[in-house]
Structure 1
Amino acid sequence: MIERRTFLTGIAAVGAASLIGCSSDGEPATPSKTSPTPSATTAEASVNPKVASTIATGLNVPWGIAFLASGAAYVSQRDAGSIVRIDPDGQVTDLGQVQGVDSATSEGGLMGIALDPDDESVLYAYMSTSSDDRLVRLSVNGDKISRPEPLFTGVRSAANHHGGRLLFDDSGHLFLAIGDGAVPEDAQDRNGPNGTILRLDKEGRAARGNPFENEVWSYGHRNIEGLAFDADGRLWASEFGQDTRDELNLIVKGKNYGWPRFEGKSDDPDFVSPKVTWSTEEASPAGLAITRSTAFMAALRGERLWMIPLDGESAGKPKALFTGKYGRIRDVVVAPDESLWVTTSNTDSRGQPASDDDRILRITL
């Protein structure tokens, strides 16, 4: 059995000058891809999102989606603490509950999931237990999942601000967004996991090349529930604000994103400002997907899908889609056929569920 891991602190020799970033210039988290990125104007003109079908209904707070090469997907159900497999034709197969998940908190439970890029029988998940939040690894054998194997444990849990999104890059590094655990000042501690994005290897250890010789990739975050790479390997994140501004951020290695000193735009060059902001009534952003030089951001309180054209490191004017039509929207993921799968989140005690909620919608572009 793997022993409980504690967070690796940065070495004392890291100077104060490297504590905070002074630029919002992007640095790809993965090697740059060779395919050109269309301009934001061209991308916006070529994208025409439409709801083509409903993939599945009757789900329990579908939080994360991980696609298989076949076009089927594993979906985490937050409050049920379970994983289901959904085939492209909509057939839903229950793979069972993840042992140890505690969904007693208002926003915790079984959250983000990600497939091992080299082995589709291995699934990573971020979950709440009765004592902490943790990263675990599961094996999928047919229609059953194994007991979770703890990899990164001891993350402070709270009623909210868990973060929980997982994302692999092309080099096999796992990015994990962790919320501030309702203690805002902890987001400024780059030697602790709360309020950060971590970059890990497949065993849950700090990846080589991290900026502070521990697991932290960036810090100063309040609550990130969306991570996505663009075509050139730049990492973007959607982040909940508190009272005024939600954010879309371009994530850069080692940089400080300002929370709790700043919510939204910063007037201090030592902190990275977001590329786009929204009022908290318009957004409360969760999942994030990028395709065709366009970011798609799910909005919970805003009950819409935001479409944001991207041009390199810049973001254009957002456009709201499907406002109020499907209720709270939790996640958006690019499917193997280049459509989007979008999950509702109306059974999470904060929405008004319809008879077929929660649902997964298929959106063509």
Structure 2
Amino acid sequence: MVARDAQDNVSPRSSTTTVTTGAACGNPVCGVRQVTTDTDIPWGLVTLPDGSVLYNRRDAHDIIQLNPTTGVKTNLGTVPNVQSTDGEGGLLGLAISASFSSDRWLYIMHTSPSDNRVVRIRLENGRLNTASEQVLVSGIRRNKYHDGGRLRFGPDGKLYASTGDAQNGAYAQDRSALEGKVLRLNPDGTVPSDNPFGNYVWSYGHRNPQGLTFDSQGRLWEQEFGNSIMDETNLITRGGNYGWPACEGTSGTCGTAGFIAPVRTYPTAEGSCSGITIVRDALYVACARGARMYRAAISGSSLTNVQTYFSGTYGRLRTVEPAPDGGLWLTTTNQGDKDSTPNNSNERVLHVTLGN
């Protein structure tokens, strides 16, 4: 047996040993363990190379480091210039690049007094080094609702960000505007030369996307809040138009030439889903109003064998992310979800064990 650390250093081989494994769980979802609770709303969440978890607290505007084994939490500091919207804005998405171990950059999406923006700040010596902050993208219109907010690095090394339409559907169809979009940027904040419209816009025609994830083929999947009829899971293509506001899910003028249909839709009462992630070619979707998690197998460009878990068990679910052991991190968003008041919640960070 050998061990590997986060930098892929390999230990010497151990002496020969014999072990007997326990019975494997044959179900897709095998168990749930509560890791911690929080008085604020966990939003963006990542796992560091050392196995600890970082998560943004949306209304308190700070970042917590969590030891998932002991449950011990450390406050790393407050992100500067964050202002909530008395609704859904605040401290939102969180990501780290593949080179985090050397460059220490945290990528953060948040609402400021004037806009929504993407910044990066170094995590050094167990604290946010706020003096290192760099604003990468600014000028994304903010509003009380529809602020988007998810960040995800792709296998191409680019950073993808989801933005809401700021409660103005016309922005979603304006390719020169940053609202109602999936944006794509270089890690230093510059516009990639192969973006389709010469700016940050990668896809457009979105209402309020809050979920981004990549599959084993390098394809980008997106989760989007509908208005009153249905939510969408979309397979995102370069320069694609997903139809909002003329088309919501499969309703409206969705047959318009150039509109890309969703892969799957959900009635809003059973959905209103925010975070998504993929583990072993299965898509997991965390839903707020629907108070459940969906699991679907990815088959080609389709989602099949859709199953529902935790319906009503933990209430509204916000974020789902992969855990290093092959399971999931899952967070709730039950109290204070629409008022921007810090520390008036009672939320959970859960670990979900997945089967074979």
Normalised to the residue count of structure 1, the TM-score between the two structures is 0.84
Confirm whether residue 72 of structure 1 aligns to residue 52 of structure 2: yes
One-letter amino acid of the structure 1 residue matched with residue 120 of structure 2: R
Q: Distance in 1 between matches of 2:330 and 2:200?
A: 30
Q: Indicate conservation of the 8 Å contact 2:335/2:345, yes or no.
A: no
One-letter amino acid of the structure 2 residue matched with residue 363 of structure 1: V
Q: Indicate conservation of the 8 Å contact 1:57/1:356, yes or no.
A: no
Q: Which of 144, 150, 169 is the equivalent residue of 1:184?
A: 169
Residue of structure 2 equivalent to 1:249: 234
Q: Indicate conservation of the 8 Å contact 1:105/1:158, yes or no.
A: no
Q: Indicate conservation of the 8 Å contact 1:51/1:361, yes or no.
A: no
One-letter amino acid of the structure 2 residue matched with residue 206 of structure 1: V
Residue of structure 1 equivalent to 2:311: 323
Q: Indicate conservation of the 8 Å contact 1:80/1:103, yes or no.
A: no
What root-mean-square deviation, in Å, do the aligned CA atoms of Structure 1 and Structure 2 show?
1.7
Confirm whether residue 287 of structure 1 aligns to residue 275 of structure 2: yes
The superposition leaves residues 160-212 of structure 1 with CA deviations (integer Å, 9 ceiling, x where unpaired) of: 10111000012310001111011111100111100110110012121121111
Q: Which runs of 5+ in 2 are unaligned?
A: 1-24
Post-superposition offset of 1:142: 2.2
Matches within 5 A, 1:233-272: 233-265=218-250, 266-272=254-260
| Secondary structure at the counterpart of residue 171 of structure 1 | coil
Q: Tell me: higher relative CO, structure 1 or 2? Use CA pairs within 8 A at least 6 residues apart.
A: 1
One-letter amino acid of the structure 2 residue matched with residue 138 of structure 1: I
Residue of structure 1 equivalent to 2:299: 311
Confirm whether residue 123 of structure 1 aligns to residue 106 of structure 2: yes
Residue of structure 1 equivalent to 2:126: 143
Q: Indicate conservation of the 8 Å contact 1:178/1:195, yes or no.
A: yes
Question: Structure 1 segments of 4 or more deviating over 6 A?
Answer: none
| Secondary structure at the counterpart of residue 186 of structure 1 | helix
Residue of structure 1 equivalent to 2:320: 332
Q: Indicate conservation of the 8 Å contact 1:71/1:337, yes or no.
A: no
Larger strand fraction of residues = 2
One-letter amino acid of the structure 1 residue matched with residue 60 of structure 2: A
Q: Indicate conservation of the 8 Å contact 1:60/1:78, yes or no.
A: yes
Q: Distance in 2 between matches of 1:83 and 1:253?
A: 32
Q: Indicate conservation of the 8 Å contact 2:85/2:143, yes or no.
A: no
One-letter amino acid of the structure 2 residue matched with residue 274 of structure 1: P
Residue of structure 2 equivalent to 1:217: 202
The superposition leaves residues 18-68 of structure 1 with CA deviations (integer Å, 9 ceiling, x where unpaired) of: xxxxxxxxxxxxxxxxxxxxxxxxxxx965213331111124100011111
One-letter amino acid of the structure 2 residue matched with residue 208 of structure 1: S
One-letter amino acid of the structure 1 residue matched with residue 349 of structure 2: I
- Count the aligned residue pairs: 318
Normalised to the residue count of structure 2, the TM-score between the two structures is 0.86
| Secondary structure at the counterpart of residue 170 of structure 2 | helix
Q: Distance in 1 between matches of 2:245 and 2:326?
A: 37
| Secondary structure at the counterpart of residue 187 of structure 1 | helix
Q: Distance in 1 between matches of 2:314 and 2:208?
A: 24
Residue of structure 2 equivalent to 1:156: 141
Kindly tell me: are residues 350 and 153 of structure 1, through their superposed partners in 2, closer, same or farther at Cα, counting changes over 3 Å?
Answer: closer
Which has the larger displacement, 109-118 or 206-215? 206-215
Confirm whether residue 58 of structure 1 aligns to residue 38 of structure 2: yes
Which has the larger displacement, 252-261 or 264-273? 264-273
Q: Indicate conservation of the 8 Å contact 2:232/2:266, yes or no.
A: yes
| Secondary structure at the counterpart of residue 151 of structure 1 | strand
Larger gyration radius, structure 1 or structure 2: 2
One-letter amino acid of the structure 2 residue matched with residue 361 of structure 1: L
Post-superposition offset of 1:124: 0.5
The superposition leaves residues 203-239 of structure 1 with CA deviations (integer Å, 9 ceiling, x where unpaired) of: 2121121111211110000011000001111100000
Residue of structure 2 equivalent to 1:91: 72
Q: Distance in 2 between matches of 1:165 and 1:46?
A: 32
Q: Which runs of 5+ in 1 are unaligned?
A: 1-44
Q: Indicate conservation of the 8 Å contact 1:110/1:126, yes or no.
A: yes
Q: Distance in 1 between matches of 2:296 and 2:202?
A: 25
Q: Distance in 2 between matches of 1:146 and 1:152?
A: 19
Over the matched positions of the two proteins, sequence identity in percent amounts to 39
